[in-house]
Amino acid sequence: MTDAATAGGAGPIGQVTEGMDVVDAAGERVGTVASVAMGDPGAATGAGQDTGGTGGIVGAVVDAIVGPSDLPEQERERLLRVGYVRIDARGLFTGSRYAAADEIASVEGGTVHLGVPADRLVG
């Protein structure tokens, strides 16, 4: 099992790599890790700061990482701050889904275990 202590303080996301299987809190397969982005707690957000919507440097970074129309601005900013895993989803939840770093419960045996049900993922 991976936790913050074994991942050098980064939490379980520090052990996630592309191609790993992802399962939700119920153990149901969600999909495969397509990409991983570590968070930036100091990233500017719209809360109390003017980022010009998705414009400016922060907007450009967010758009490059997550995509300009994939998610609501508030969700994109949160993912940028805390880090995320982009999941190539299967079945009912096709397309890309995003799990924030704080939604990853553990990484074991090449599988990412989420602490939330699949229907709570954004994307």
pLDDT, tens digit (0-9, with 9 covering 90-100), for 79-107: 989 999 999 987 665 788 999 999 999 99
Write down the pLDDT at residue 68: 37
Rounded to whole angstroms, how far apart are CA atoms 29 and 93? 11
Q: What residue ranges of the chain have pLDDT lower than 50?
A: 1-8, 48-55, 68
pTM for the complete prediction? Answer: 0.73
The sign one gets for the Cα dihedral 99, 100, 103, 109 is positive
**The domain 12-116: what is its CATH number?**
2.30.30.240
Question: What ranges do the domains of the chain cover?
Answer: 12-116
Write down the pLDDT at residue 90: 76
Write down the pLDDT at residue 43: 67
Which of 47, 91, 93, 98 has its CA nearest to residue 70? 98
Write down the pLDDT at residue 63: 52
Write down the pLDDT at residue 2: 40
